[in-house]
Chains A and B, each alone.
Chain A
Amino acid sequence: MTMSSMQRVLTTLGHKEPDRVPFFLLLSMHGARELGLSIKDYFSKSEHVVEGQLRMLNKYRHDCLYPFFYTPLEVEAFGGEVLFYEDGPPNSGTPIIKKKSDILSLTVPAVTETACLVKVFETIHALKEKVGDETPIIGVVVSPFSLPVMQMGLSAYIELLYEDPGLFNKLMAVNQQFCVAWANAQLQAGATAICYFNPMASPTMIAREMYLKTGFQVDTQTLSQIQGPTAFHLASGNALPILGDLAAMGTAAVGVSCLEDISALKEGCRNKLTIIGNLNGVEMRRWTPSQAEKNVRDLIAAAADGGGFILSDNHGEIPWQVGEETLQAISNAVHKWGNYSQE
């Protein structure tokens, strides 16, 4: 029996094998290319993103809709600046927290009244009207623990984290309140689940002991207040040493890096966490169709058995430079090699 994308994803999240391997092509900017718009124009209206997402769902026959705009959207909500490019994702501009004491006057934006966030709610709402319960709609938030990188810059944030626990806690309180409201409003608009981006939790960024003392507490509290299923995405940061900690937080899935061994990840996650990953997005722009097919096939062979696996890129966003031919080849390969009953 052929399952709907929703049934397929729910089955794998329950650590059972669905009809075929579910796959998420986490495409954001490529919608602009579909519509012949610049990246900046594309993200200026929810109608564009709705149209772009639906066209790509149809074209690549994958298993989710991804109403993700770009992570600096959240600093935009706090009054920050966003820099757009013709050929890549928007970046956050000058930090809104210029000196540490600025944290004391930081206030939580009202999510349902902030124009840039409302665009996302409208997008999710319109997508939900179109697909109902057939296809999962994945909302996105940045963890309160990672957001400060864009609010104040990475080096200033590392110094705050190690040297000023008082102000760190203050910043976490503001960000947490924002994150919970932002996630729940997306769920209310029709998102099926929330992808919770938090590369700062990764041992690539900070040592596990430090994470357990700081971000772990924040994330545990935040996730418990999000009223829907979550996936914890490390945005291609390493995961192996903290898999147990992530499972303990009650998240359903983890986005993992291609720089770690997929078999070890599979063992660490089995029956605890669903793996999302881990095709190398940066390298993908050079793949020929046959390389794409081989990489997909190898990944399925290593990680798909028993369910608990959603094939995807390892960052949570496929780079602008990856062409349509490669994306088609990935899709064809999953449809060809991802059938569970074949084995």
Chain B
Amino acid sequence: MIHSNSELVTAFSAKLLNMDRLGAEEIINNSQKNNTPLQIVEGLVVPALEEIGKGWEEGTVALAQVYMGSRICEELVDLFLPPSSSERSSQPRMAIVLLDDYHALGKMIVYATLRASGYELQDYGRLTAKELVQRVCDDSIEVVLISTLMLRSALQVKDVKTWLLAAGSQTKIIVGGAPFRFDPQLWKEVGADEMGATAGEAVTAVENSMGVVA
């Protein structure tokens, strides 16, 4: 089993950083002989994406590499763990949204990373705070991931929280995006339950809130 094989993880993330899709695919194919799809996701893909995300936060990895890496992983994982696969975790019931903002890349990366990590979630695209609260209630969403790039959008999470509470919803809110990275206290101020500085941290945040939801 590849669990805790850090050499393989490093080799795999090197392929991703070089945007070498074929090389990354070869490593996955070789691992498939001795591992189940979920073992590959948890032992190889998630740690590699986490490593890349950490590198970005520390300034050693560029965003272009984060983006291309997450896209490659999403595609590769779809090959052996198709969207309809019963092995994918559709729990908790999740959705991701760009809140009244036009900068979609952060959301795209987080979405691809969560899917490459074996989760299924709805992509709500871009919505206003009002529209989001309506959708979350209609779909009985348990965890909502909110991405923003502009400060004015980040501040609107406050409204989402207030209106969700008013509707009697217990939905957990996970936030991320540049304003939350620049002001580490902002997520608390706007009433979020978790914040992730990178897409890799989105996976951890989902795991954390699962404990709470369950």
Q: Which of B174-202 contact A (CB under 8 A)?
A: 178-179, 181-183, 185-186, 189
- Which single member of B59, B62, B63, B151 contacts A88 (CB below 8 Å)? B151
Q: Main SS of the interface on chain A?
A: loop
Residue A302, interface by CB 8 Å: no
Task: Report yes or no: A85 in contact with B64, Cβ–Cβ below 8 A.
Answer: no
Q: Are A282 and B151 in contact (CB under 8 A)?
A: yes
A320 x B68 contact (CB < 8 A):
no
Contact A286 B183, beta carbon cutoff 8 Å: yes
Within 8 Å of chain B (Cβ to Cβ): is A158? Answer: yes
Which residues of chain B come closer than 8 Å to A155, judged between CB atoms?
A: 67, 104-105, 108
Considering the chains assembled together, what is the distance between the CA atoms of A332 and B103 in angstroms? 36
Q: Contact at B182–A236, with CB atoms within 8 Å?
A: yes
B178 to chain A: closest residue by CB: A282
Q: Is the CB of B59 within 8 A of A238?
A: yes
Of the listed stretches A99-107, A190-198, A199-207, chain B binds A199-207
Do A91 and B102 have beta carbons less than 8 Å apart?
yes
Shortest Cβ distance from B63 into A: residue: A205
Given the interface pairs A259-B182, A280-B182, the reply to whether A207 lies near B62 with Cβ below 8 Å is: yes
Contact A280 B183 (CB under 8 A): yes
Q: Which of the four size classes fits the interface of chain A?
A: 35 or more
Chain B neighbourhood of A204, CB < 8 A = 56, 59, 62-63
Q: In the complex, what residues of B have CB within 8 A of residue A210's CB?
A: 62, 64
- C-alpha gap A85/B19 in the complex (Å): 38
CA distance A70 to B181 in the complex (A): 23
Q: How many A-B residue pairs have CB under 8 A?
A: 74
In the complex, how many angstroms separate the beta carbon of B100 from the nearest chain A beta carbon?
Answer: 9
Chain B's interface size range is 20 to 34
Chain A residues closer than 8 Å to B189, beta-carbon distance: 286
A154 CB-CB contact with B under 8 Å:
yes
CB-defined contacts of B105 to chain A, threshold 8 Å: 154-155
* B150 at interface, CB cutoff 8 A: yes
- Taken together as a complex, chains A and B put the C-alpha atoms of A91 and B151 apart, in Å, by 12
Chain A 273-317 interface mask (CB, 8 Å, partner B; 1/0): 000000011110110000000000000000000000000000000
B185 & A286 in contact (Cβ 8 Å cutoff): yes
Judged by a CB distance under 8 angstroms, whether B155 is at the interface is yes
Contact with B59, one of A154, A161, A203, A321 (Cβ below 8 angstroms) = A203
Q: Is the CB of B59 within 8 A of A319?
A: no
Beta-carbon contact of A158 and B68 below 8 Å:
yes
- Given known A85-B152, A154-B105, contact A161–B64 (CB-CB < 8 A): yes
Question: Which residues of chain A from 86 to 102 have any CB-CB distance to chain B below 8 Å in the complex?
Answer: 87-89, 91-93
User: Is A249 an interface residue when CB atoms closer than 8 A count as contact?
Assistant: no
Residue A83 CB within 8 A of the other chain: yes
Q: Which A-B residue pairs are the 5 nearest by beta carbons?
A: A88-B152, A282-B182, A207-B62, A283-B183, A206-B62
17 contacts between A and B (CB under 8 A): A85-B152, A88-B152, A91-B102, A153-B104, A154-B103, A155-B105, A158-B63, A162-B64, A162-B68, A203-B62, A204-B56, A205-B63, A205-B64, A281-B182, A282-B151, A283-B183, A319-B151
Residues of B within 8 A of A (CB): 19, 56, 59, 61-65, 67-68, 102-105, 108, 150-153, 155, 178-179, 181-183, 185-186, 189
